[in-house]
Chains A and B, each alone.
Chain A
Amino acid sequence: MSIIQLQDVYFTYNRASDSEVRAVNGVTLSINEGEFVAIVGHNGSGKSTLAKLMNGLITPDKGKVTVAGLDTANEKNLFDIRRNVGVVFQNPDNQMVATIIEDDVAFGPENIGMPSDQIRERVYESLKSVGMYDYREGTPHRLSGGQKQRVAIAGVLALRPRVMVLDESTSMLDPRGRADVMKVVNDLNKKEKMAVVMITHFMEEAVTADRIIVMNEGRIYMQGGKEIFKRQAELESIGLTVPLASRVANRLREKGVVIDEDVTTYEELVNKICPLE
């Protein structure tokens, strides 16, 4: 069953001015319950605009966006829409609103008028699921970028949304911070069945998704499972790369090495070349 639906959506920034930029150009798309969708594309391809459309931060110029059947263009729906769709943004430093970590996570639940004992329960639960419970009484500004992003995710979780949208949320993190955040996101999807929309330009993050949507010039250029990484030349022509293992596999195939299946991870590649006895 789908939670988010975009029907032939158009969006232009700074409409009717000199700096008009058409960002989304006729996109039809639905995100299903429990699904892990990756959206990839180079800068300016419209992928972050999709994130903003998905929780009503912006509304389409043309077409329609619905969340759990509610139209984002109707302001009365926004409260319910944002309880269903939580967004984690790119810059960890811009998302902290309180001086104590547990207060920061409590911000969302407080805003929707949740009773205070329930808030406490939700905040603790959320901090535990991102592995930041032990830090709850500390201050966010002493955390690393990866830890801050996990706190931001906890803030989203505290509202128990059905979909979590991550808008390049790992792009400012070091490899360790990125791996920690990805693990939390994968667990939430697999164990809690939360739908995830992961907007990224790290192809290695996209390979774990159920479905990969490639954006170019505001349109869906290609979508599918990891078999899309066989189309290396096409992806490179729109400024993207394919995961290293896929690239090496593609080059080996060209040179006559027999590698038949889709390969996207190092383990898969190594298993194809040198199977365990």
Chain B
Amino acid sequence: MPVRIENLNFEYNPKTPFAKRALFDVTLDINDGDFFGVIGHTGSGKSTLISHLNALTRVQSGTLFVNGMDLSPKKIDFKKLRSTVGMVFQYPEYQLFAETVEEDVAFGPKNIGLSADEISQRVREAITMVGLDYQSIRSRSPFDLSGGQMRRVALAGIIAMRPDILVLDEPTAGLDPRGKQEILTLIKKIKQTCSIVIMISHNMDEVSACCNRIAVFSEGKVHGVYEPRELFAQKELLEKLNIDMPGVTNIASMLADRGFNVDRSIISEDELVDAIVGECQRRGLCAK
């Protein structure tokens, strides 16, 4: 049971006039193999939760275990934890700093004291994995690259740590359609090398396409954990929580409201097209 969270509470600026409670009794189990989605509005506690996972935010009350490590005590093995949990923040390209791509990606592995051979092997592997050509890009300045390339270099820096659990906060925000698609494909590829991927996203199309389980946050609490079809077919619940449906689910739901026979739990474009074509044929609305 790699990530086990029980009754986690958190308050910013405790015991001051600015005290603000961000998490209320959060209990979650994230299992091996999960591509776990975390959704909810800005300010619902998503980012506060994930910053607990590599102890950037410390446990105030409740318990948190990551791969069996108890993160509640004051003293924990940070080195071990941070090679276990790879954290990719929003706009990770803002964190690039080194003179060359190679140095930037090598920064994490160097910090945990790996041998020079091991470092250079991991760097080469990580850069190749994110779809960049190692030889031609290694000595370039990361700041001369395009936005999408910079984001991939930032991801390579995390992959080079070979994390068992990868945590991503809005990984496709701000990218153009092609860039978004490339990053999602890449994340699915990385998923094969990790036990768990946890992704915060506001894009329901991406969440429904990638995740097998989704935790819905609302005002610092977990409203529930659902499978994508189970969640997005619940029109009233989504409206109450002010969560968008994936576009295809939205179209299916609008059609179903008019008595057109399509399933409300459709979450892919192929399914939607097939369902509409099927019903149109039954109704004799097709040209062929």
Contact = CB atoms under 8 A, between A and B. Distances in A.
Q: Which of B148, B247, B269 has the most CB of A within 10 A?
A: B247
A78 interface: no
Contact of A245 (B43, B202, B251): B251
B287 A273 contact: no
Interface string B122-166: 000000000000000000000010111000000000000000000
Interface stretch (B24-32, B96-104, B211-219, B254-262): B254-262
Contacts of A176: 41-42, 242
B272 interface: yes
A240 B181 CA distance: 11
Interface in A255-277: 255-258, 266-267, 269-270, 273-274, 276
B195 interface: no
Interface stretch (B71-79, B80-88, B169-177, B186-194): B169-177
A248 B269 contact: yes
Contact of B255 (A145, A168, A274): A274
B19 interface: no
Contact of B42 (A19, A145, A171, A270): A145
A258 B41 contact: no
Contacts of B148: 43
A258 B42 contact: no
B178 A42 contact: yes
Contacts of A145: 42
Nearest to B175: A43
Given A43-B146, A252-B277, 20 more contacts: A43-B148, A145-B42, A174-B202, A175-B202, A176-B42, A176-B242, A239-B177, A240-B176, A240-B177, A244-B251, A247-B269, A248-B248, A252-B273, A252-B280, A256-B287, A257-B276, A266-B250, A270-B258, A273-B276, A274-B259
Interface string A142-177: 001100000000000000000000001001101111
A270 B242 contact: no
B79 to A, nearest CB: 32
Nearest to A168: B174
A251 interface: yes
Nearest to A204: B247
Given A43-B148, A44-B146, A245-B251, A239 B258 contact: no
Interface residue range, chain B: 35 or more
B285 interface: yes
B286 interface: yes
Interface residues of A, number: 36
Given A248-B269, A257-B286, A270 B280 contact: no
B288 interface: yes
B244 interface: yes
26 contacts: A19-B144, A42-B176, A42-B178, A43-B179, A144-B42, A168-B174, A171-B174, A174-B41, A175-B202, A176-B41, A176-B42, A176-B242, A239-B176, A239-B177, A245-B251, A251-B269, A252-B273, A252-B280, A256-B286, A257-B276, A257-B277, A258-B286, A267-B254, A269-B251, A270-B254, A274-B259
Interface in B23-74: 41-43
A273 B260 CA distance: 9
Interface of A: 19, 42-44, 90, 144-145, 168, 171-172, 174-177, 201, 203, 239-241, 244-245, 247-248, 251-252, 255-258, 266-267, 269-270, 273-274, 276
B247 A276 contact: no
Contacts of A256: 277, 286-288
A248 B277 CA distance: 11
A251 to B, nearest CB: 5
Contacts of A171: 173-174
A175 to B, nearest CB: 6
Q: Which of A176, A241, A248, A274 has the most CB of B within 10 A?
A: A274
A42 B178 CA distance: 8
Nearest to B257: A270
A125 to B, nearest CB: 28
B42 A239 contact: no
Contacts of B247: 244, 266
A144 B43 contact: yes
A231 to B, nearest CB: 15
A257 B286 CA distance: 5
Contacts of A255: 273, 277, 286
Given A19-B144, A42-B176, A252-B276, A270 B287 contact: no
A144 B260 CA distance: 39
A242 to B, nearest CB: 10
B40 to A, nearest CB: 10
A18 B148 CA distance: 21
Q: Which 9 A-B pairs have the closest CB atoms?
A: A256-B288, A239-B178, A244-B247, A201-B176, A256-B286, A241-B177, A274-B260, A42-B176, A174-B202
Contacts of B259: 274
Contacts of A267: 254
